[in-house]
Structure 1
Amino acid sequence: MHAMIDWIVQTVGALGYLGIFVMMLIESSVFPLPSEVVMIPAGYLCAKGEMSMPVVIVLGTLGSIAGALLNYYLAVFLGRKLILKYGHYLFFSAEKLEKVERFFKTHGSFSTFTGRLIPVVRHYISLPAGLARMNVALFCFYTGLGASIWVTILTLLGYFFGQNQALLEENLHTMTWGLLALIVVSSFVYVKVFRTKEKKRARSAIGAQSQTKNR
């Protein structure tokens, strides 16, 4: 781990801001590179005065969006064809694909945002969004929103604890579990609000039908 971090620090230092963008693009693509080994060393370089924290966070976020878009368009142009042709080998049928598409049409924004904050999931959440052809502007917005939070957290961890591996790992674990707890709570609230709205819509629809019949 120390050797990898040292290599990343040297690489980012050599490539500068471009290195952060490119590495975070790779991190969000189909070849996931752990974002921790990119943004934490970048935060450490900010603490040393070798980089600007706002620029690091912006480029880290933009790199994440660029990598996510790569996955998104791979799913748009290749995903459906491959799934329809070979999906049955993985027990993924056309019916399941339709369910994924319907789900993302309704819950794509929330899923994309929270997915960017969950380990492992953040690398692949763009694929179902692409399969469902989620609105690109909304996809970029919620991807950027989630990515910016995670990038900022990692950069700050590197800034404050970059020289202390024990404190760094402890705080990283704490922040990760804290985010997961927040996602669970927000998901519960989201589901409650969504169901409440659906019930109101159903009642309104029934009321409208009743009025039409009475006329």
Structure 2
Amino acid sequence: MLEQLLTTLGEFVVELISSLGYFGVFLAMAIESACIPLPSEIILPFTGYMVYIGHFDFWTATLAATLGNLFGGLVAYYVGVRGGRPFIQRYGHYFFIKEKELQWTERLFSRHGEITVLVGRLLPVIRTFISLPAGIAKMSAVKMAIYTVLGALPWCMFLIIVGEKLGANWNSLKPLFHRLDLVIGVLILAGIGYFFFKRKGRKRR
């Protein structure tokens, strides 16, 4: 069942990006970030494959993906701001938003605060829904946008590079991506943490 779903989503992503180019990348990532589960683990490696065959420029593709993440995140954020929890509870199922997932992201946001938006962009499930509790909590839109870009950029870069390196085999890891999500997120977070730790150490000297 899962394999069939991933295949169908993969075909949709390939058609969308092949037809619309960079705008297809932007649109696919906006859909994923607006709480509609279209996996970036399929979108971004295929985008990397398009870089590999010379149809896309790496940095333009990365920018399109990151801006798509930002746009979709802002849509979800303003749904949270304007409609609040009652709106999401009433209409969320039309967009595959489950109560359990909403409660989970809300708990994380209330426990760890606004930084959850940044960290959440690197973690499975959370990155799709984290903009909603940020909107419900009336987080600053500017801060939310900055955290979204800072979290989305390394994620987009990493998976586009993976797709570029795999080339024609870009979808060979597709069945494993959901298992690798957490590992990838932790590795990126560790890299970011190491960078800031080293930078702080240099300033002290």
Q: How many residues align?
A: 175
The offset of 1:180, in angstroms, is 2.8
Aligned partner of 1:177 in structure 2 is 183
Q: 1:36 aligns with which of 41, 50, 73?
A: 41
Structure 2: runs of 5 or more not aligned: 1-5, 91-98, 194-205
1:168, distance to aligned residue in structure 2 (A):
7.1
Distance in 1 (CA, whole Å) between partners of 2:116 and 2:150 is: 12
CA positional deviation for 1:14: 1.5
CA–CA distance in 1 between the matches of 2:52 and 2:191?
34
Counterparts of 1:15-30 in structure 2, within 5 Å, are 15-30=20-35
**Residue in structure 2 matched with residue 68 of structure 1 by the alignment:** 73
Q: For residue 55 of structure 1, what is the amino acid of its counterpart?
A: T
The residue number in structure 2 matching 1:121 is 126
Tell me how far apart the structure 1 counterparts of residues 62 and 157 of structure 2 sit (CA, whole Å). Answer: 6
Could you report, residue by residue, the CA deviation over 1:133-179 in whole angstroms, capped at 9, with x for unpaired residues?
Answer: 11111100001111111111110011001323546767885574142
Is 1:107–2:113 an aligned residue pair? yes
Q: 1:80 to 1:167 in 2, by over 3 A?
A: closer
Structure 2 distance, partners of 1:19, 1:182, is: 25
**Aligned partners of 1:136 and 1:51: how far apart in 2?**
31
Report the AA paired with residue 183 of structure 2: W
Cα offset, 1:37, TM superposition: 1.5
Larger radius of gyration: 1
Q: Percent identical across equivalent pairs?
A: 31
Deviations 1:31-86 (A, max 9, x none): 2210112111111010100111100000100000100111101011111454899x
Which of these residues, 135, 153, 158, is aligned with residue 158 of structure 2?
Answer: 153
* CA distance 1:186–1:11, shift in 2 (3 Å): closer
Query: Which residue in 2 is equivalent to 1:140?
Result: 145
Structure 1 unaligned spans of 5+? 91-95, 188-215
The question of whether the paired residues in 1 share the 8 Å contact of 2:122 and 2:188 is answered with no
Distance 1:11 1:111 in 2: 31
Q: Tell me if the contact between 1:157 and 1:168 (Cα under 8 Å) persists in the aligned partners.
A: no
d(CA) in 1 for partners of 2:176, 2:19: 29
Residues 124 and 178 in structure 2, CA contact (< 8 A), matched pair in contact too: no
TM-score, normalised relative to structure 1: 0.68
Partner of residue 200, structure 2: none
Q: Distance in 1 between matches of 2:189 and 2:34?
A: 23
User: Measured at CA, do residues 6 and 137 of structure 1 come closer, stay the same or move farther in structure 2, by a change above 3 Å?
Assistant: same
